[in-house]
Structure 1
Amino acid sequence: MSKAEVDKVEGAEMETKAPPLRPRDAATLLLLDRQGGEFRVLMGRRHSSHVFMPGKFVFPGGRTDPSDGRVLVADGLHPEEEAKLTVRASRTTPTRARAIALSAIRETYEEAGLLIGNKGSFSTSRPDWQGFAEHGVMPSLTGLRFVARAITPPGRVRRFDTRFLAAFRDDVAVELPQGGPTNELEELVWLSLDEARAADVPAITRTILGEVQQRLAGDPRLSPGGPVPFYRMLNNRFVRDLL
């Protein structure tokens, strides 16, 4: 697709013709539930008052905080997943990859009230991670799978280099009935992958859902080191590569 075609598909999702911006690291989590004979994914609706993608269904996630990489974990990334995240062309160090993965876990707690990790003693001085200490959960990265990457095209008022990670509901140690402490999402729902693709989602989200659905069809356990589609603008065209 050309840049003009991408702009047309995205429509009003993002403003265009912004000054050049360097993409910022971001991470989002596709939390999958494999009970009931089909896969469901957790999605939340952004508040209609938000300037950025109001009313859209999205995965929990957000901007990466580099200091997340210093949080203690029960288990690190699977070596094959770390290798995918730190492939030479990405210029991502292991420390940066760790921060990206942990930010996806933190955002899932903040927005959905789901704590991924192992039950046990955990303490930290980081305010953003106090919920894990209060509920006795040490974060764990071993179950995360790197399933896609996408860089927002140039000309947007916000640009992110987003890593899409996946985990299974089995990896959740604690589910808070009242949801997360932030007010980012006004509705949390579990949708089948077909339902999620038909919902009011951003164009790139629908694309990633299709990618993950296809991968699950051949690899329902999401084995480590699987192919990772990478979407970005190159020579004024939106391209897909595999990492």
Structure 2
Amino acid sequence: MSGRKREGINVKDGMSRADVDRAESKDFALGGKPMRPRDAATLILLDRDGAEIRVLLGRRHRAHAFMPGKFVFPGGRTDPTDSRVAIAAPLHPDEENRIAGSGGRATPARARAIALSAIREAYEEAGLLIGRREPFETRHSGWQGFAEHGVQPALDRLRFIARAITPPGRVRRFDTRFLAAWRSDVACELENGGPTDELEGLVWLPLSQAREADIPAITRTVLDELQARLKDDPELEPGRQAPFYRMLHNRFVRTVV
């Protein structure tokens, strides 16, 4: 980390696509053919340490084409079959509507799949199982760890923090929902982390230190949004409005959903 203040993506100045490309040039491999962004989910895990709030970050391998070497939240692409996994508790209705989005694809099944993918990725990459301690059986391969440890996934404590669509011109594009949960919502924490090697190391950092780490520009922007919300909404109550970042008419814009 350096003493220089690191910046996120500043939508107040109406950043053009070229401006965003420059800001994210160290985050993404640029280029590639036009593609539709895929649903993805990221889980921002928070932990209260006295008066301070810490956040979980892990470093991606430098060989990855998408955000190589960056500290990120656990997360990844949504598998639509995740929507068929049995749950101990559903999403709060207000959170479900915001996660699903708008338009023809805005269905409860889509919201559920996105939310469950965030929980699955937190297990796979960080060894943290969010849910209830109760018997759980499933045929889905990505969820066998929950069955082995007697945890049924639960969605009721997830909170929608932000949504961001990767701008065009990247080798990977995602329509990412940033969801938050508290460490107290973790039913089981595996000592050796998750079963994948997506992240090289995991650290719990105070929010102020996390934004100065080597994180993607959009992650820094979301952390700024989260810090501002926590001042007014320290418990992250359901149904609060949240930002949606995307490229429209060659400008990176922020709307509220």
Q: Deviation of residue 87 (structure 1)?
A: 4.2
Pick from 90, 96, 100 the counterpart of residue 86 of structure 1. 100
Partner of 1:187: 201
Distance 1:161 1:95 in 2: 16
| 2: CA distance, partners of 1:87 / 1:136 | 32
Q: Does 1:44 align with 2:69?
A: no
- Distance in 2, Cα, partners of 1:12 & 1:56: 9
List runs of 5+ in structure 1 lacking aligned partners.
Answer: none
1:165-184 mapped onto 2 (5 Å cutoff): 165-184=179-198
Comparing 92-101 with 76-85, greater Cα deviation is found at: 76-85
What secondary structure is seen at the aligned counterpart in 2 of 1:31? strand
Letter in 2 for 1:35: D
Q: Which residue of 2 aligns with 1:15?
A: 29
Letter in structure 2 aligned against 1:104: A
- The residue that corresponds to 1:224 in the other structure is 238
Equivalent-residue separation in structure 1 for 2:63 and 2:31 (angstroms): 23
- Counterpart Cα distance in 1 of 2:104 and 2:187: 32
Structure 1 range deviating more: 8-17 or 198-207: 8-17
1:66 to 76, 80, 85: 80
Paired residues for 1:111-130 under 5 Å: 111-130=125-144
Equivalents in 2 of 1:114, 1:198: separation in Å?
25
Any idea what SS the aligned residue of 2:34 has?
A: coil
Structure 2 residue 16 is matched with structure 1 residue 5: no
How many residue pairs end up in the alignment?
243
Aligned Cα root-mean-square deviation (Å): 1.1
2:172 matched to which residue of 1? 158
Partners of 1:169 and 1:90 in 2: CA distance: 34
What is the rounded CA distance, in whole Å, between the counterparts of 1:157 and 1:87 in structure 2?
24
Q: Deviations over 1:55-77 (max 9, x none)?
A: 10000000000000000000000
More helix, by proportion: 1
Residue 221 of structure 1 aligns with an amino acid whose one-letter code is E
TM-score under structure 2 length normalisation: 0.92
| SS of aligned partner of 1:34 | strand
Give the C-alpha shift of residue 89 in structure 1.
4.3
Preserved contact between residue 130 and residue 187 of structure 2 (Cα < 8 Å):
yes
Contact 2:41 2:179 (C-alpha < 8 Å) held by counterparts = yes
Could you say which residue in structure 2 is the equivalent of 1:55? Answer: 69
- Indicate the SS of the match to 1:162: strand
- Code of the residue aligned with 2:199 in structure 1: it is L
Superposed displacement of residue 90, structure 1: 7.5
DSSP-derived class of the 2:230 partner? helix
Q: CA deviation at 1:51?
A: 2.7
Identity %: 67
CA–CA separation in structure 2 for the residues paired with 1:12 and 1:88:
31
- Write out aligned runs for 1:91-106 (5 A): 91-106=105-120
Q: What is the one-letter code of the residue matched to 1:27?
A: A
CA drift at 1:92: 1.9
- Write the distance in 2 (CA, Å) between the matches of 1:81 and 1:125: 27
> How far has the Cα of 1:37 moved from its partner?
1.1
Output the TM-score relative to the length of structure 1.
0.97
Structure-2 residue corresponding to 1:141: 155
Could you tell me which of 211, 215, 237 is aligned with 2:225? 211
Cα offset, 1:127, TM superposition: 1.0
